[in-house]
Amino acid sequence: MPRRLFTLLAAALVTAMIALATVGKVPVETDLLAMLPATERSPVAEQAMAQLARTHEKRLVLLTVADDAAQARAGAEALAHTLRASPALQHVTLEVPPDALDTLLTTYLPHRFGLLSAATRKALQQDGRDALMQDLYRALASPIPAATPVPRPLDPFGTLAGFLAELPFAGGGFAPENGILMAHRDGRSYALVSAETVDSPHAVSTQEAVLEALAQARAAVQTQTPTAHVEATGLVLYAAAAQTTAKREMSLIGGVSLLGITALLLLAFRSLRPVLLGIACIATGVAAGIAVVLLVDGRLHLLTLVCGTSLLGIAVDYPLHYFAKRRLAGAAWHADEAMAAMRPALTQGLLTSLLGYTALLAMPFPGLRQIALFSMAGLATAYVATRMMLPLFAGAADPRSTAGLDRLRKTFSGWQHVLQSRARWLLPLAILACLPGTWMLSHNDDVRLLSTPDPMLARQEAQIRELTQLGQGSRLFLVNGRDNEHLLQREEQLTDALRAHDLDHSGGFTAISTFVPSTQRQASNRQLIGARLFGDDRWAQHTLDDIGYHPRIGQALADAFAAEKPLTPDAWLKLPLSTPYRHLWLGPAQAGVASVVTLHGHWPTDALATGANLPGVTLLDKPAAVSSLMGQYRRGMAWALACAIGLSLILLSRRHGWRGAAATLAPCVLAVGAPLAALGYLGLPATLFHWLALMLVFGIGADYGIFTREGGPQGEAALGVLLAAITTVLGFGLLAFSSTPAIASFGLTLFLGVITAFLASPLALTGRDAPEAAS
């Protein structure tokens, strides 16, 4: 009765999951970073990262590229028009307000003497009036008509113009032309359009809608201006590409492996029943895995699903052993007895696998935990399914001839004999052969191995970044201060230090203090320039008079200086001008206020380290932090694996004795060692994902050893192990063809490990013939 009940429940679960998936209600997460743990200790830092990530992740930057300005402009108009029609996009921006330059002037002119560029400030400190004299001449002598938004008489020494030139306005080489931001380079014209997704770019619905809108926009641009084309970048495009790749790989790899497994089982068992029951067991396992993950985490990660397809390979082992036994038994088969005889092997196999996954469950990587959870639930359910459903639906004996299988068995028993008779020196030799390789093994924990971005998208992004000097958002400084003024002063200490390290101007940064210097800095600037221009000797007035300016110009300048007040961050943050930068100002944070300084361009590590050593400054380097964390987990994983092997040894020794347990685990240890040695000899660095795969190899290798040893002294379990190995290679090994390096290395490791485990499986019988003293 419980068997039928279980079957009904299983059927209901599988149906429910299929139904959910069909209506698209399974929330699938594609953001790789969501699989990573919180890397920053301080909540302010996490807030900074999250706030910045939100600003960056919804953004979409587009360019129309054409041979001349008119075409690029027409293309951009068509592009913006089409994008505005999409409900998935908002804030589609093409036109810049015509008074943008006036706003700049009205904002800064009233505070002009407190605002100096770093270069002017340095020149004033070093050369004093000589520097000002040069600036005065330069403003008039330049062969190039330097038309700035600042009228010349209001800024005869060009100091405000110098300050404005340093403002890190987003858009780099772009400037407004008839209300549209345009750039021209190497004979091509570019027009800039920006947009934001309405919802999270990780939502499949958003991705589909954005891709559709973009395709329509490209078509519209093509019709309007055939010579123009569109370049685009944004996280949503990468997420969509990753989603498509994963879907394609899942259906391709999953499909091929399912086909291969079906064909193999049909060939071995000449009946559809084992195939269908095998699929039923896996399906129950996968459905249970999805259900448990959804219950616990609320959403399923794409990578869990991809790695979950590998569960296909391991869950099918249990029914395989059952059917192999049944097929070989011929007419002398009794289902319940056979199941009873198999139970210890099945249970030990499951327990050792679960041991391996428990170690993963303990990891603080949310993604790894989810994969472990999925696998444990799936595996346990598949185990129960095997024990419940197989005797129910395949209880009858299979009396057909086993001649073909016997030949296969003979071949393998030859190998088994060779291996067993030489085990005494083959085993130490194999271990010796592995040792130098594992000694040579190197590691690489770079987080970028997690994904290889689509080359087309990467090329577009590189071009857009180069033209717009867009910040990357993954490396930034977090600055803390007691109050606004203290915070701005600390930002200035940081930006001064960065400038001192960036003599070739290859790096860039965006800081609020660049737009609105601290009151202290403004006062110091005013003092610096005031002492030279408006001292008792009225130098500015005399000099301007000498050079030919009307006396009223100098007088107006002196009056403005006397009446001037500093610009405050509160006032600045209220201006429309500050909108694109407000996210950098975090405002009140624990014990004071905090802000963020973002970086772009090239920064040497020592420059960043110098900045990070300043008081109140923290460098947040997400890729580096995550990479170092991956390293920690990789080491943790290695220890977990060692522990799992030790624990399994203890577990198995209760049944097989110490020597027997050692023999049983020998194939598994070799299977773990061989891929590591291979990587070492090939000089390939091992990653967290190789170790992840080794964890599975451990479970599989342990299974093979246990089944072989439990199967009987003549290698009765060999057929089951062989089938299991082939199905696993089909299920896992195919992952080696994935275009995601992490998944590919996972697949390759499993492939090597499983082959080794299979070939070494007869070693588990060592000492089996001798009476087992312990049992």
Partner 1 sequence: MKRRSFLLAGLLALLSASALADDALLKEIAARVADSPVLRAEFSQTKTLAAMRKPFRIAGHFTYARDAGVLWQVASPYAVSYLIDAHGTMEIGPDGQRKTRSGREAAGAAQAGQIMQALLSADLAPLESHFVLDPARVPDGWQVTLTPRSAEVARHLTHITVAGNTAVEQVNIVETGGDHTEIRFTAIQRDTQLNDAETALLARPD
Interacting residue ranges for partner 1, rule: CB under 8 A: 67-70, 98, 101, 119-120, 134-135, 137-149, 151-153, 156, 158, 161-162, 164-166, 168, 172-173, 175-179, 183-189, 469, 504-506, 508, 547-550, 553, 601
Cβ of residue 498: shortest distance to partner 1, in angstroms? 12
Distance of closest approach, residue 52 Cβ to partner 1, in angstroms: 22
Cα distance between residue 759 and residue 729, in whole Å: 13
CB of 580 to partner 1, least distance (A): 16
Shortest Å, Cβ 97 to partner 1: 11
Q: Considering the complex, state which of residue 71 and residue 480 has its C-beta at the smaller distance from partner 1.
A: 71
In sequence order, the 6+-apart residues with CB closer than 8 A to the CB of 262 are 275, 279
Q: How do strand 188-197 and strand 180-185 relate by DSSP bridges?
A: antiparallel
Give the list of residues 6+ apart from residue 515 with CB closer than 8 angstroms, or none: 167, 572, 577, 578, 581
Which of 137, 639 has the CB closer to partner 1? 137
Angle, helices 519-533/118-127, rounded to nearest 10 degrees = 50
| Least distance CB 155 / partner 1 (angstroms) | 9
Q: Are 261 and 730 in contact (CB under 8 A)?
A: yes
Q: Give the number of other CB atoms < 10 A from CB of residue 535.
A: 10
DSSP letter (8 states) at residue 686: B
Alpha-carbon span 452 to 430, nearest angstrom: 36
45: left (phi over 0), alpha (psi -120 to 50) or beta: alpha
Q: Containing H/E element for 427? A: helix 423-440
Run of H or E including 414: helix 403-421
When the beta carbons of 187 and 683 are compared against partner 1, the nearer one is 187
Phi (first) and psi of residue 234, to 5 degrees: 165, 150
Nearest approach in angstroms of CB 564 to partner 1 is 20
Nearer to partner 1, 6 or 190 (CB): 190
Considering the complex, what minimum distance in angstroms separates the CB of residue 76 from partner 1? 14
Q: Which is nearer to partner 1, 160 or 360 (by Cβ)?
A: 160
* Chain CA centroid to CA 313, Å: 26
Q: Which is nearer to partner 1, 140 or 329 (CB)?
A: 140
Rounded to the nearest whole angstrom, what is the least distance from the CB of residue 164 to partner 1 in the complex?
6
Bridge partner residues of 618 (DSSP): 478
* Nearest to partner 1 of 557, 665 (CB atom): 557
Distance, in Å, from the CA atom of 731 to the CA atom of 314, rounded to the nearest integer, reads 8
Give the nearer residue to partner 1 in terms of CB position, either 130 or 769: 130
Q: How far is CA 77 from the centre of its chain?
A: 34
- Give the Cα separation of 333 and 396 in Å (integer): 8
For the bound state, the minimum distance from the C-beta of residue 584 to partner 1, rounded and expressed in Å, comes to 18
- Mention every residue, 6+ apart, whose C-beta is less than 8 A from residue 98: 179
**Closer Cβ to partner 1, 470 or 764, answer by number:** 470
Q: Hey, what are 319's tokens? A: 């029914």
23: three-class secondary structure by DSSP: coil
Judged by beta carbon, residue 175 or residue 335, the one nearer partner 1 is: 175
Least distance CB 138 / partner 1 (angstroms): 5
